[in-house]
Structure 1
Amino acid sequence: MNIDPHQFPLVWMHYREAAGQTDPFSQLDQLLQRQQPFVLVTADAPGEQAQPDDNAKASLKQASLWMKQNKAAIRRWIKAGIVIAPDSAAQARVEAFADTYRKFWGYPLLHCASKEAAMAMVGRLLGHGRINSQNW
């Protein structure tokens, strides 16, 4: 997982591995320490990741432990996760996974069809229409 906070409070999340990436949990810690609401956005729809192997299972366990240690801050500062799902099959996968996701992480998993729709949704979730100087 790779986290790009450069457009905070819109935070891009990519599930594909990237060379030289920083530990995602330390990145999330830094975001939570800002004590400001933000939204996670990804174009990686549920079901597109590789099948679980031993590394994936260890990552899931690490995520679970991290989530339990940070539950209150997560629920307070992360307003939603948004998946850009351009087709009905991807949207159906998000909807099928959304309730489980919310129960585990404590914030909703939403979807929209385009990057532009995601930017508008972020603005609504955070209570303002302008996210950054590019009006995202």
Structure 2
Amino acid sequence: MNIDHRQFPLVWMHYRGAAGQTDPFSQLDQLLQRQKPFVLVTADAPGEQPQQGEDAQASLKQASLWMKRNKEAIRRWIRASIVIAPDGATQARVEAFADSYRKFWGYPLLHCASKAAAVAMVDQLLGHKRINSHNW
């Protein structure tokens, strides 16, 4: 996973093609330390990054331990995770996974059809009014 925070408080998460990247949990720690609300956005829908066997178990265990250590900060600062899901099948997968995701992470998993819709949703979640795409 690769985390791109250059548009903070819109934080891009990329799962595909992110091998060899910095530890995502240390990147998330840094984002939480800002003590400002943000939204995670990805174009990679649940189930598109298949992991199997011991790697999947190790990743889940690491995520669970990190989440437990940071539960209060996660719930305070992460407003939502948005998946850009342009088609009905992907939207249905996101919706099917959303309840489990919220129970585990403590914030909602949402979807929208385009990057522009995701940016608008981030603005709405954070209560921002933007003049253009560069005035975060």
Give TM-score, length-normalised by structure 2.
0.94
**2:102 is matched by which residue type in structure 1?**
R
**1:93 is matched by which residue type in structure 2?**
R
Asked if the contact 1:10/1:131 (under 8 Å) is kept, the reply is: no
Corresponding residue of 1:113: 113
Output the CA distance in 2 between the equivalents of 1:106 and 1:10: 18
Tell me the percent identity: 83
Post-superposition offset of 1:134: 2.9
Runs of at least 5 residues in structure 2 that lack an aligned partner in the other structure: none
CA deviation digits over 1:41-62, x for unaligned, max 9?
0000011111422112101100
Output the CA distance in 2 between the equivalents of 1:66 and 1:85: 27
CA deviation digits over 1:88-111, x for unaligned, max 9?
000000000000000000000000
Asked if the contact 1:37/1:126 (under 8 Å) is kept, the reply is: yes
What secondary structure sits across from 1:70 in the alignment?
helix
Corresponding residue of 2:85: 85
1:54 equivalent to 2:25? Answer: no
Corresponding residue of 1:76: 76
RMSD: 1.7
Corresponding residue of 2:23: 23
Residues paired across the two proteins, number: 136
Post-superposition offset of 1:135: 5.7
Output the CA distance in 1 between the equivalents of 2:22 and 2:131: 25
**1:29 is matched by which residue type in structure 2?**
D
Output the CA distance in 2 between the equivalents of 1:133 and 1:95: 28
- Alpha carbons of 1:19 and 1:95: their partners in 2 closer, same or farther (altered >3 Å)? closer
Post-superposition offset of 1:19: 4.8
**2:66 is matched by which residue type in structure 1?**
W
Output the CA distance in 2 between the equivalents of 1:26 and 1:97: 25
What secondary structure sits across from 1:110 in the alignment?
strand
Corresponding residue of 2:8: 8
Asked if the contact 1:98/1:110 (under 8 Å) is kept, the reply is: yes
Asked if the contact 1:42/1:83 (under 8 Å) is kept, the reply is: yes
Post-superposition offset of 1:16: 1.9
After superposition, residues 119-130 of structure 1 pair within 5 angstroms as 119-130=119-130
- Alpha carbons of 1:14 and 1:33: their partners in 2 closer, same or farther (altered >3 Å)? same
- Alpha carbons of 1:120 and 1:92: their partners in 2 closer, same or farther (altered >3 Å)? same
